[in-house]
Amino acid sequence: MNESGSKKVTVPVSEELRQQLGRVAVLFGGDSAEREVSLQSGTAVLNALLAANVDAVGIDTGKDALKYLQKVDVDRAFIMLHGAGGENGSMQALLTYLDIPYTGSGVGASALAMDKLRSKQLWLGMNLPTAKFAVLSDKSDWQQLISDLNGGAMVKPAHEGSSLGMSRAGSAEELKAAYEKARQYDSSVIAEALIRGPEYTVSILNDQVLPPIRLEANNVFYDYEAKYISNETRYHCPCGLSAEKEAQLKQLALDAYNSLGCEGWGRVDVMADEAGNFFVLEVNTVPGMTSHSLVPMAAKAAGLSFEELVVTILLSKFDKDR
């Protein structure tokens, strides 16, 4: 057993398991705003599967996933599509229609987790702590909103990942400008009250919580550059919390993940305020798997190599079906 609580996989996989798995299509690329990150993640996963003796093939789904899937005879899919088309339930629905088993969360959970507004509304109804927020529009009273949000806000497209379209605002003018930027990515835009404290990310693998990571970026916030480009972002694991506070963080992350019906694997982003109170930001159902990504870091801390992590994700639903 490893720290994740799951039986550690053996890689390379046996010839018998290779035959049982059949051909695995790694789906990456797509046409969302996160295409470049998806290409990096998908390539890393494909190489790991090949190194682990899995019969795998990469498919850049582009704008017509159905066309490419019908061209290749595959037995299951490893979804590495980020953003729209990969995390919002549409690819999961297509694979369900084609009767191709796939990694990660199902149609409903994927769609719900991708929608930051609906996720937050659900968490409020379940008394799970999440930052105070407001829905923005062209008719918003910017001065009143910035006041209601305690003088500072994070503005986000409701259906994007990788911090795309996000901005920090500290005045009515900045809030309006942040809204104008965010709506270039999505017609639905929200503003969260700014939380001035450390940010944590908690990875979940087969319903087990991996060691949390505390993020420390030189940028104004943990944005796209800090996530995928900068070599100056610092990742702290162990995260520096007391055993009691770390257990509280892990439980909150697992509760938020389970509340959306997620399965297989995922990552929950959380912030703490200056008093140490935790607030859920969002759940990612297809997290990044690049050289800068957080799930592989957490898995490594739990004793899993990258190849072992990838095969564990692939086997999560396969093991249930056997």
Separation CA 206–CA 222 (nearest Å): 27
| Number of neighbours of residue 231 by Cβ within 10 angstroms | 6
Cβ–Cβ under 8 Å, residues 277 and 167: no
Which residues does the annotation mark as catalytic? 34, 162, 228, 267, 269, 282, 284, 288
Cβ–Cβ under 8 Å, residues 65 and 94: yes
In the chain, the DSSP E strands lie at 24-28, 56-60, 76-79, 133-136, 153-157, 167-169, 189-193, 199-205, 208-209, 213-216, 234-236, 265-272, 278-284
Task: Dihedral sign for Cα 105, 109, 110, 116, please.
Answer: negative
Closest CA to 192 of 136, 145, 134: 134
